[in-house]
């Protein structure tokens, strides 16, 4: 299977979305103290990076 730059960015975007959802789920369901807010903030950061990866598709 040959992967070009856009395919790699698409896979990276999906991986970042899944990790972001996992971090937000950890913050929401596992940690009830202040650490939960940190996990949720990092999850939102993963979404931001995934958005950048998605915006770069076709431009790199």
Range of the domain at 43: 5-56
Task: Note the pLDDT of residue 23.
Answer: 95
**57, 9 in Cβ contact below 8 A?**
yes
**What is the C-alpha separation between 19 and 45, in angstroms, rounded?**
10
Report helix angle 5-25 to 34-56, nearest 10: 160
**What is the C-alpha separation between 40 and 55, in angstroms, rounded?**
23
Q: Which residue has the higher pLDDT, 60 or 42?
A: 42
For the cut 80, the answer to whether the pLDDT of residue 60 exceeds it is no
Q: Domains in the chain: how many in total?
A: 1
Q: What is the pTM of this model?
A: 0.83
pLDDT tens digits along 10-49: 899 999 999 999 999 999 999 888 989 999 999 999 999 9
């Amino acid at each position: 299977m040959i992967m070009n730059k856009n395919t790699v960015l698409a896979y990276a975007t999906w991986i970042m979305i899944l990790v972001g959802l996992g971090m937000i789920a950890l913050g929401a369901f596992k940690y009830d103290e202040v650490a939960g807010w940190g996990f949720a903030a990092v999850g939102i950061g993963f979404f931001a990076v995934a958005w950048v990866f998605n915006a770069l598709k076709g431009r790199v």
